[in-house]
Amino acid sequence: MRVSVDVSNIGGELNAPTSKSYTHRAITIGALSCECIVRKPLLSADTLATVAACEKLGAKIEKVNGDLHIIGMKGKPGVPDDVIDVKNSGTTLRLMTAISSLANGATVLTGDSSIRGRPNQPLLDVLNRLNVDVFSTRNNGCAPIVVRGGLKGSAAEIDGSMSSQFISALLMACPLATEDTILSIKGELKSRPYVDITVEMLQEAGVKILVDESNGIKFIIPANQQYDLKDYTVPGDFSSASYLLAAAAMLGSCITVHNLFPSKQGDSEIINVLRLMGAEVQWDAQQGVVTVEGKQLKGINFDAGATPDLVPTVAVLAAVADGVTVIGNAKHVRYKETDRLHAMAVELSKMGIMIKEEPDSLTITGGKLAGADLHGWHDHRIVMALTLAAMVAGKTTIDTADSVSISYPKFFEEISSIGAKIEMLDE
Ligand SMILES: O=C(O)C1=C[C@@H](OP(=O)(O)O)[C@@H](O)[C@H](O)C1
Ligand SMILES: C=C(OP(=O)(O)O)C(=O)O
């Protein structure tokens, strides 16, 4: 689907959609528990992939008035009667690869072309170390992946630089292993806040995980535990809200976004980023209300190590800011739905912005955005970020715009409701 976007001014109030990351975990942990209600889940293409995968492994999940009522597997996933298709969801693939190692039989996991090009070898290596018979069918670490069960637990080490999802996946499965696991992190643990969310939610379910940071980072995971998540309400999503907040900052408009309470989400960092760039941002954390008033922005240095999903948003903010912005420590941003460093460099160059792409960084010199026919790279975050740039530049089209269904199905409807000039061009 293509959209056309014209110069826009926005104003008013919106509610942030609920968190994709928290929803994935609530469904998965609920499905490993006995019985659970997940309230206000994000129902998007990615989280519905997790619902479908958990059902394949034996959970019963029903949508009731917008909530999810789950009859769980009580820690014992079954052997699916068919291949698990995670569609476009990397989180679903990683979590389910680890969870299916608890089943007494073979599980095949696949996904769309993007998923079948994303790396998983560090996770497969550790699962093999933990007695799991698991391999990728093309022997390249990518899906399709075959998991033949056998998770025991042991001491293992994993590189933390590529994806925190490998660690989250192991934290999800190892408490159900038959022997204790000690997982040591080699190098920097990128996207660390997502692991914090995983630990937080497992502890909500009564699962014990000891985090030892006395000498590097180690996760000590006792075996033979039980999951007991009964009732969980999903918080608002700062990654999705970042597009709404940044739009106001870029357009010199004022917007208020509700349902944004403090949580372990690293992408709440967007508030500090906007302040550092010169926007006026009020956050009533108690009420969960963020108000942004746009001012002339200035370039900053942004370390993307903990917050990879903010990179497209920060890149378009940088495009309209005075001076230079360096987005650094960002190599892991290349392993998402697409190589987001390259995608943003190509598309912002089409809009007349000077942008230098290096292995783990983007250097962006703010300037005058020109309208263009842009490619969305079938990546929801590229499409949503480019929409903001287009609202400044005007006379812009963006293709693969349907990919917003991955994390924010109502993005175009909601941003149009506060003034964005957007027209759907074709299906
Ligand atoms: O665990 C999660 O929910 C996520 C972890 C991050 O991936 P990496 O850990 O691979 O950076 C992030 O990009 C993704 O959108 C969601
Ligand atoms: C990369 C993302 O998610 P996933 O890794 O689950 O595909 C994302 O939402 O930007």
User: Per residue of the chain (427 residues), what is the pLDDT tens digit?
Assistant: 999 999 999 999 999 999 999 999 999 999 999 999 999 999 999 999 999 999 999 999 999 999 999 999 999 999 999 999 999 999 999 999 999 999 999 999 999 999 999 999 999 999 999 999 999 999 999 999 999 999 999 999 999 999 999 999 999 999 999 999 999 999 999 999 999 999 999 999 999 999 999 999 999 999 999 999 999 999 999 999 999 999 999 999 999 999 999 999 999 999 999 999 999 999 999 999 999 999 999 999 999 999 999 999 999 999 999 999 999 999 999 999 999 999 999 999 999 999 999 999 999 999 999 999 999 999 999 999 999 999 999 999 999 999 999 999 999 999 999 999 999 998 6
CATH number, domain with residue 409: 3.65.10.10
Is 316 part of a structural domain of the chain? yes
201, 256: one domain: no
By annotation, the residues acting in catalysis are 309
Q: Is the CB of 376 under 6 A from ligand 1?
A: no
Question: Which pLDDT score is estimated for 427?
Answer: 63
8, 87: one domain: no
Residue 298 has phi, psi (to 5 degrees) of -125, 155
Q: Is the CB of 21 under 6 A from ligand 1?
A: yes
Enumerate residues 6+ apart whose C-beta is below 8 A from 173: 98, 99, 101, 102, 151
- Of 201, 226, 251, the position where a domain reaches its end is 226
Question: Which pLDDT score is estimated for 2?
Answer: 98
Rounded Cα distance between 299 and 318, Å, is: 6
Is 37 part of a structural domain of the chain? yes
183, 145: one domain: yes
Q: Is the CB of 266 under 6 A from ligand 2?
A: no
Tell me how far the alpha carbon of residue 427 lies from the centroid of ligand 1, in angstroms: 29
Q: Is the CB of 194 under 6 A from ligand 1?
A: yes
Ligand 2: residue whose CA is nearest its atom 2: 336
Q: Which ligand is in closest contact with the Cα of 197? A: 1
Residue 373, CA distances (Å) to 218, 383, 399, 408 in order: 47, 12, 8, 22
- Of 226, 244, 277, the position where a domain reaches its end is 226
173, 290: one domain: no
Q: Which of 231, 234, 226 is nearest to 265 (CA)?
A: 234
Which residues partner with 63 through β-bridges?
68
Is 9 part of a structural domain of the chain? yes
Q: Which ligand is in closest contact with the Cα of 88? A: 2
| Number of domains present in the structure of the chain | 2
Tell me how far the alpha carbon of residue 368 lies from the centroid of ligand 2, in angstroms: 30
- Of 173, 194, 226, the position where a domain reaches its end is 226
Q: Is the CB of 165 under 6 A from ligand 1?
A: yes
370, 221: one domain: no
Ligand 2: residue whose CA is nearest its atom 1: 336
Tell me how far the alpha carbon of residue 214 lies from the centroid of ligand 2, in angstroms: 31
324, 183: one domain: no
Residue 139 has phi, psi (to 5 degrees) of 55, 35
Tell me how far the alpha carbon of residue 318 lies from the centroid of ligand 2, in angstroms: 22
Question: Which pLDDT score is estimated for 426?
Answer: 80
101, 150: one domain: yes
Q: What is residue 112's three-state secondary structure?
A: coil
* Residues contributing to the annotated binding site for 3-phosphoshikimate: 20-21, 25, 163-165, 191, 309, 336
278, 154: one domain: no
274, 393: one domain: yes
Ligand 2: residue whose CA is nearest its atom 7: 90
Is 46 part of a structural domain of the chain? yes
* Residues contributing to the annotated binding site for phosphoenolpyruvate: 20, 90, 118, 165, 340, 381
Residues of the domain holding 101 = 20-226
Which of 123, 165, 167, 171 gets mutated to test ligand 1 (max ligand atoms within 8 A of its CB)? 165
28, 106: one domain: yes
Q: Is the CB of 47 under 6 A from ligand 1?
A: no
Tell me how far the alpha carbon of residue 145 lies from the centroid of ligand 2, in angstroms: 18
With b for 16 or more beta-carbon neighbours within 10 A and e for fewer, the 214-236 pattern comes to eeebbbebbeebebbbeebebbb
**Quick check: bond before 144 cis, omega within 30?**
yes
Is 231 part of a structural domain of the chain? no
Is 114 part of a structural domain of the chain? yes
> Whole-model pTM?
0.98
Q: Are 274 and 245 in contact (CB under 8 A)?
A: yes
158, 241: one domain: no
Amino acid at 390: A
Ligand 1: residue whose CA is nearest its atom 3: 21
Q: What is residue 293's three-state secondary structure?
A: strand
Q: Is the CB of 336 under 6 A from ligand 2?
A: yes
Q: Which ligand is in closest contact with the Cα of 50? A: 2
52, 163: one domain: yes
Q: Which two tokens stand for residue 134?
A: 């698991």
